[in-house]
């Protein structure tokens, strides 16, 4: 009988509307979202609250939020089966974040490497929001009693602080939040910049040659892969220090499913020219269907708005249950 089916475990992940996602976001996070969407109860969203730490132009933020949302649907996520929402449409995120701020120590938040990196990148705007970013992320995750959070390796430290905050709160008030586990895909966990392969590929990089956007056309993708930084050895194999080649091998492996050994064999005796052509073509094949579906969806604003409303309603239902529980525990008067 169907009715004794086990309850599905919960998955949550958000992405900031700070630019078009890169191949790094796609292989590190988005592709896993799609893969998990059937077997889990999924909450996927556009983290617009997070993105104002870098003070985007308001019109840009509105446009990018819609674009990112369309892209999530273009991945093949089903907005009726899964919950696909915009973070600011669910006020519980900001409300729980304030509560959790008061259960997070200044010292532990100061140790976050993303805070250090981003303050260096934007020395003119080191705001309190940037500092409190991991606490908002903790609220995002804890509101849904999340089991798994599919993320790239760069977010692992934020997941650890989330667990610490939840554990501290549960210790003080009794079980309130489920402790989430990271879900980090093996091969795409950290895709590096094509121009500085010791740094992660990032969609807010100021040099567009450093990243491939998931909406780049075939021609642009080929050009960017061809100008990716490698080394002078001209041999395709994995070794510490061959950062550029290691990165391209990782990308090729994610797109084709081939192992390092198979890739080394395939390009034995060939130079970087042949290798880069193959990597470029594999990336084009991987991204083409996503781009085509996105182009279809982005013109259908009415449909996107309808899905956003449904997502906000479903997300709020779950989020508010947890928020009310937390508010009660800390002693806010219920009326």
Query: Which tokens belong to 158?
Result: 């934020």
- Interface residue with ligand ATP among 10, 11, 12, 18 (CB under 6 A) is 18
Q: What are phi and psi of 14, to 5 degrees?
A: -125, 160
Distance in Å, CB of 200 to ligand ATP, minimum: 4
- Using CB under 6 A as the binding rule, whether residue 200 contacts ligand ATP is answered as yes
Q: Which is nearer to ligand ATP, 68 or 96 (CB)?
A: 68
Other CB atoms within 10 A of residue 78 CB: 11
- Using CB under 6 A as the binding rule, whether residue 100 contacts ligand ATP is answered as no
- Using CB under 6 A as the binding rule, whether residue 68 contacts ligand ATP is answered as no
Radius of gyration of the chain (CA): 21
- Using CB under 6 A as the binding rule, whether residue 16 contacts ligand ATP is answered as yes
Give Cβ neighbours of residue 175 (< 8 Å, ≥ 6 apart). none
Query: Which tokens belong to 63?
Result: 């446009």
Q: Which is nearer to ligand ATP, 90 or 189 (CB)?
A: 189
Contact 230, 244 (CB under 8 A): yes
The interface mask with ligand ATP, positions 160-199, x = CB under 6 A, is ----------------------------xxxx--------
Short-list 268, 190, 192, CA closest to 230:
192
Contact 35, 77 (CB under 8 A): no
- Interface residue with ligand ATP among 20, 25, 104, 195 (CB under 6 A) is 25
Name the 3-class secondary structure at 270.
Answer: coil
Which active-site residues does the annotation give? 118, 200, 203
- Using CB under 6 A as the binding rule, whether residue 155 contacts ligand ATP is answered as yes
Q: Which is nearer to ligand ATP, 14 or 323 (CB)?
A: 14
Query: Which tokens belong to 143?
Result: 């509101």
Number of residues lying near ligand ATP (CB under 6 A): 21
d(CA 83, CA 308): 9
- Using CB under 6 A as the binding rule, whether residue 152 contacts ligand ATP is answered as yes
Write the DSSP assignment of 72-118 as a string of letters. Answer: HHHTT--TTTSEEEEGGG-THHHHHHHHHHTTS-HHHHHT-HHHHHH
- Using CB under 6 A as the binding rule, whether residue 222 contacts ligand ATP is answered as no
Helix count (H) and strand count (E) of the chain?
14, 5
- Interface residue with ligand ATP among 101, 108, 154, 196 (CB under 6 A) is 154
Determine the residue with CB nearest ligand ATP.
28
- Using CB under 6 A as the binding rule, whether residue 280 contacts ligand ATP is answered as no
- Using CB under 6 A as the binding rule, whether residue 45 contacts ligand ATP is answered as no
- Interface residue with ligand ATP among 151, 159, 210, 214 (CB under 6 A) is 151
Q: Which is nearer to ligand ATP, 22 or 195 (CB)?
A: 22
Query: Which tokens belong to 9?
Result: 């475990």
Only one of the segments 23-31, 57-65, 137-145, 305-313 lies at the binding site for ligand ATP (rule: CB under 6 A); that segment is 23-31
Write the DSSP assignment of 25-43 as a string of letters. Answer: HIIIIIHHHHHHTTTSEEE
Short-list 306, 312, 305, 297, CA closest to 86:
312
- Using CB under 6 A as the binding rule, whether residue 203 contacts ligand ATP is answered as yes
Q: How many CA atoms lie within 13 A of 56 on its CB side?
A: 18
Binding site for ligand ATP (CB under 6 A): 15-16, 18, 22, 24-25, 28-29, 151-152, 154-155, 188-191, 200-204
């Amino acid at each position: 009988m169907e009715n004794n089916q086990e309850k599905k475990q919960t998955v949550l992940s958000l992405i900031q509307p700070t630019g078009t996602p890169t191949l790094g976001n796609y292989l590190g996070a988005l592709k896993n979202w799609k893969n998990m969407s059937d077997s889990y109860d999924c909450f996927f969203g556009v983290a617009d609250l997070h993105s104002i730490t870098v003070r985007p132009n308001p019109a840009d933020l509105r446009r990018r939020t819609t674009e990112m949302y369309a892209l999530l649907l273009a991945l093949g996520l089903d907005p009726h089966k899964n919950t696909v929402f915009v973070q600011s449409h669910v006020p519980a995120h900001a409300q729980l974040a304030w509560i959790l701020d008061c259960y997070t120590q200044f010292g532990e938040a100061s140790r976050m490497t993303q805070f250090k990196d981003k303050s260096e990148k934007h020395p003119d705007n080191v705001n309190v929001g940037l500092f409190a970013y991991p606490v908002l992320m903790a609220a995002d995750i804890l509101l849904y009693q999340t089991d798994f959070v599919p993320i790239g390796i760069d977010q692992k430290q934020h997941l650890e602080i989330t667990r610490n905050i939840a554990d501290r709160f549960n210790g003080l008030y009794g079980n309130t939040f489920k402790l989430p586990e990271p879900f980090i895909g093996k091969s795409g966990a950290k895709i590096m910049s094509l121009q500085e392969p010791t740094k992660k590929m990032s969609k807010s990089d100021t040099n567009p040659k450093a990243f491939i956007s998931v909406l780049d056309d075939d021609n642009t993708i080929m050009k960017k892969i061809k100008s990716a930084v490698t080394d002078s050895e001209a041999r395709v194999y994995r070794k510490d220090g061959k950062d550029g080649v290691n990165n391209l091998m990782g990308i090729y492996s994610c797109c084709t499913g081939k192992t390092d050994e198979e890739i080394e064999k395939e390009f034995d005796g060939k130079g970087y020219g042949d290798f880069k052509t193959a990597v470029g073509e594999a990336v084009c094949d991987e991204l083409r269907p996503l781009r085509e579906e996105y182009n279809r969806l982005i013109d259908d604003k009415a449909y996107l708005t309808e899905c956003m409303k449904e997502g906000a309603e479903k997300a709020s239902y779950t989020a508010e249950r947890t928020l009310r529980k937390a508010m009660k525990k800390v002693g806010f008067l219920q009326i």
